[in-house]
Structure 1
Amino acid sequence: MVQGSFKRQVEVGRVVLLNDSNKLAVIVDIIDHKRALIEGPTTGVVRQSYPYQHLTLTNLVVKDLPRSAGQATLKKYLEKSQVLATWEKTAWAQKLQQRQVRAGLSDFDRFKLAKLKNQRRFLVGSAVAQAKKQVA
């Protein structure tokens, strides 16, 4: 295997996304090759053992987090490293937020969205046709 082919490693302090609930947590300790101890004191995730196959590793890491750190220590490190603010700025977090908003739309909201998409498609199509006409 090529050295450095993996970008994200399982490590203490790695911020993870729970696949079933889309909540953020931090790896506090590594139990074995299949499970980690995670906690998300600011996102409502209680301290628990969690299998890696139900986690998605993010690029974010809480630097210098001590192994098996308590909840107060973890909160302090999270606030100091500004991880949650950094997460909110990522395209990944914004896409999850957009999915959540779209899932909560009513029938009428979906209808209005479809109408706006049709208007946009018409404007873009006519602009492209006009540009092609000028080139030819």
Structure 2
Amino acid sequence: MPFQRFVEPGRVAYIAEGIHSGKLCTIVDVIDQTRALVDGPESGVPRTAVRFKQMHLTKFKFPLTYTSPTRIVRKSWKDAQISEKWAESSWAHKIDARKRVRIDCLSFSIVLIEIQLAAARASLEIS
């Protein structure tokens, strides 16, 4: 099967690193061989340049003209139902599962710290 995920206007990407990590965006324009102009009106990513090393291309794509304004990107995003398709994808399910495990580990650590704190308070009250 030939390669199908090309960097092109309208391709949806997942930002893995940087300020907007964990958010979806769409490629609006290719700036040079290392960066693209992206916009994520539904996910909170402002129109900005992002390095290709910071993002992963998804299988989702919708028709978009070259350097479309944000309002056109938002309308096309909604018409193509990208947010719903992403929520149903196995990639999104795996990311959610990892977040849940992280939250479980964090809550376990908090419980251990609370137990230690309660023991320290009890030892101070006895003294």
Fold agreement, TM-score > 0.5: yes
2:17 is the alignment partner of 1:16: no
State the 4+ residue runs in structure 1 displaced beyond 3 angstroms.
none
Cα deviations by residue, 1:25-64 (Å, 9 ceiling, x for unpaired): 00011111111000101111111111111110000001x2
How far the C-alpha of 1:6 sits from its partner, in A, is 1.8
2:50 aligned counterpart, secondary structure: strand
**How many residues in Structure 1 have an aligned counterpart in Structure 2?**
106
Distance (whole Å) between structure 1 residues aligned to residue 50 and residue 71 of structure 2: 21
Structure 1 equivalent of residue 83 of structure 2: 84
Question: Residues 47-86 of structure 1 correspond to what in structure 2 (within 5 A)?
Answer: 47-62=47-62, 64-86=63-85
Structure 2 equivalent of residue 107 of structure 1: 108
Distance (whole Å) between structure 2 residues aligned to residue 98 and residue 7 of structure 1: 27
1:104 aligned counterpart, secondary structure: helix
Q: Percent identity?
A: 33
How far the C-alpha of 1:7 sits from its partner, in A, is 2.2
Amino acid at match of 1:76: K
1:93 aligned counterpart, secondary structure: helix
Distance (whole Å) between structure 1 residues aligned to residue 75 and residue 45 of structure 2: 16
1:8 aligned counterpart, secondary structure: coil
Unpaired runs of 5+ in structure 2?
A: 110-127
Structure 1 equivalent of residue 115 of structure 2: none
Structure 2 equivalent of residue 34 of structure 1: 34
How far the C-alpha of 1:102 sits from its partner, in A, is 1.6
Root mean square deviation of aligned Cα: 1.8
